[in-house]
Structure 1
Amino acid sequence: MNAKLFDAAERATGIRQAVDRAIEQDTVQIYLQPLYGTKEHRIIGAEVLARLHDEQLGFIPPDVFIRTAEHSGTITQLGEQIFAKACRFAARNDLQSLGIKWLNVNLSPIQCRDNQMAEGLCRIAARYGVPIQTFKFEITESTLVYELRLRQNMEKLLAEGAILSLDDFGTGYSNLMRINKFPFGDVKLDMSFVRTYFNEANPLLPAMVKSFQASGIKTTAEGIETKDMVEALTGLGCDILQGYYFSRPLPEQDFLAYMQNQPQSFQ
């Protein structure tokens, strides 16, 4: 094995050990990124995002440690810990007084293969006394291949009042016929898909927004960085906007301070 391969293998082992430590010690943190409602002209929600800082390796990017947990089979435990922290945040803070309608939580495709996933999430929410309808669960389109188990989990969550969102639409897997087979209340347009519209004047994005509107599905656009993007996507009919124009993901206390001091309008 050459030096580069050895270094890569050594780092992969280190990351796996870091993820195992984080799960064992329950040290993965949650950050929150604001979600802006175009009709309300204010922040109406937040996406819960996981962050891992290891004492030995430092900051490990989310896509890296989540992929590692998926490969090692620990993603369900990690996902439940992240959701528990989201529930704890909701239980400790009056979201309604902050103007927060819901918190978005990501579900891994591996989690969705577990036919006990929905029951597990409901148990965690009940433990903290938080209604499951507090949450909008984001599911990537690659998960749709597990149709039977996914549908069972979705039906259970919907029965409890949760909202289901299709994440990363426009990344290459998109199939409207397949999407329409599932009870999504929201579709999140991937930032690469959104930026292509502004960089190349691609007419596909407006057509997709209109199609979802006709089906009664709300749309969330990611990657918003400028006022012009806010105005254009609001004009197209997007319901929710997310991106650095409003805020980067924030630690819990910083997010609370942001919500208490946010501008009256971003227009």
Structure 2
Amino acid sequence: MIVLYGKNANLAKIHVPPVNDIRVMVYNSKLLTESNEKRDIELELHHAVIAEQFEVFYQPQLSLISGKHIGMEALIRWNHPTKGIISPLKFIQLAEELHLINQIGLWVLKKACTQTVEINELFGLDLRVSVNLSSVQLQHPRLLQDIKEILKETGLEPRLLDLEITEGSLFNFEKSSQILEDIKNLGIHISLDDFGAGYSSLSYLKKLSIHRLKIDRIFLLNIPKEEDTLMTSIVTLGHNLNLKVLAEGAETLEQVNFLKTIQCDEVQGYYFSKPLPYSEFTAYLDKYLNID
């Protein structure tokens, strides 16, 4: 039961937690401030899409076997004209609410494909780029056609594109698995991101058309202070399913050595580099190749 009083009751109502017990939410000026701030950022986000105020940052991914770079993850940032770089944590959920996420996601995909072609041509490499695919995009009826058009327009080979999905995006499993199968048939790689952070069902792993598991960064937090048999088990599970396994969030040499010990295939994290804007990422690669 929710009881509302006062002329600002509607404003208070939207802040009532979605639970079934009795709650009282009293209006105060903080609610008005938060409401105004959200309204402002909504307007700014619409403008950001039109003005293409976004930027793609890249974080390198390396093979733990060869030690060489195998690719990079493309990560969106909002380059606000007055507020500077804004993390996706602050606007992606809002973009979903405003039905802007598909438009933004396709922009990121096209930009990442374009810049990956440039990077590979510049350095003579064969790097694969990983791009996040939201649950909204995964269910969009034009997804497959949009991907085909972007690959054709940018010239990126399908094998050099890796689309990352999360467990949460598979709420309609039958439909999602068929879409992933169609994407895989184009020659595109698919990774299951943040594996282990949600409520994983091992049964669906055998049915999904994926190439790689990305272990959530939370599993590396206490290493090497604690032995993590669970992480070892995830790597073994991935290998038994003929999947590559990449660990996210490596920040120390000890963690990297641990991953090598448990035969994890690939890694990314701050130990190698934080996410970098395009110009800094190319400078990073140039330095790495000269050292190598």
CA spacing shift, 1:41–1:200, aligned 2, 3 Å: same
Describe the SS at the equivalent of 1:94: helix
User: Is 1:40 the equivalent of 2:40?
Assistant: no
Deviation of 1:172 (Å) = 2.6
User: Is 1:101 the equivalent of 2:100?
Assistant: no
AA matched with 2:45: V
CA spacing shift, 1:199–1:21, aligned 2, 3 Å: farther
Confirm or deny: 8 A CA contact 1:98 1:260 kept in the other structure.
no
Q: Distance in 2 between matches of 1:200 and 1:186?
A: 26
Partner of 1:167: 193
CA spacing shift, 1:10–1:95, aligned 2, 3 Å: farther
TM superposition score normalised by structure 1 = 0.93
Deviation string 1:181-200 (CA, Å, 9 cap, x unpaired) is 20111000010123255454
Describe the SS at the equivalent of 2:91: helix
**Which entry has the higher C-alpha Rg, 1 or 2?**
2
CA spacing shift, 1:265–1:206, aligned 2, 3 Å: farther
Confirm or deny: 8 A CA contact 2:131 2:164 kept in the other structure.
yes
Q: Distance in 1 between matches of 2:189 and 2:122?
A: 17
Deviation of 1:21 (Å) = 1.2
Deviation of 1:265 (Å) = 8.2
User: Is 1:222 the equivalent of 2:278?
Assistant: no
Confirm or deny: 8 A CA contact 1:170 1:190 kept in the other structure.
yes
Q: Distance in 1 between matches of 2:208 and 2:52?
A: 33
CA spacing shift, 1:54–1:109, aligned 2, 3 Å: same
Aligned residues, how many? 266
Deviation string 1:24-54 (CA, Å, 9 cap, x unpaired) is 1122100100001111212211000001022
AA matched with 2:189: I
Q: Please say which of residues 182-191 and 142-151 is displaced more in the overlay.
A: 142-151
Confirm or deny: 8 A CA contact 1:197 1:203 kept in the other structure.
no
Deviation of 1:125 (Å) = 1.5
TM superposition score normalised by structure 2 = 0.85
Deviation of 1:151 (Å) = 2.2
AA matched with 2:96: E
* Higher RCO by CA contacts (8 Å cutoff, separation 6 or greater): 1
Deviation of 1:170 (Å) = 1.4
Q: Distance in 1 between matches of 2:100 and 2:165?
A: 18
Alignment partner of 1:136 out of 137, 159, 162: 162
Q: Distance in 2 between matches of 1:197 and 1:119?
A: 43
Confirm or deny: 8 A CA contact 1:36 1:240 kept in the other structure.
yes
Measured on the aligned residues, the alpha-carbon RMSD in Å equals: 2.0
AA matched with 2:215: L
CA spacing shift, 1:257–1:149, aligned 2, 3 Å: same
Q: Distance in 1 between matches of 2:95 and 2:138?
A: 14
Describe the SS at the equivalent of 2:131: strand
Identity fraction in percent: 30
Q: Distance in 1 between matches of 2:221 and 2:145?
A: 37
Describe the SS at the equivalent of 1:87: helix
Deviation of 1:107 (Å) = 0.5
User: Is 1:92 the equivalent of 2:97?
Assistant: no
Partner of 1:3: 29
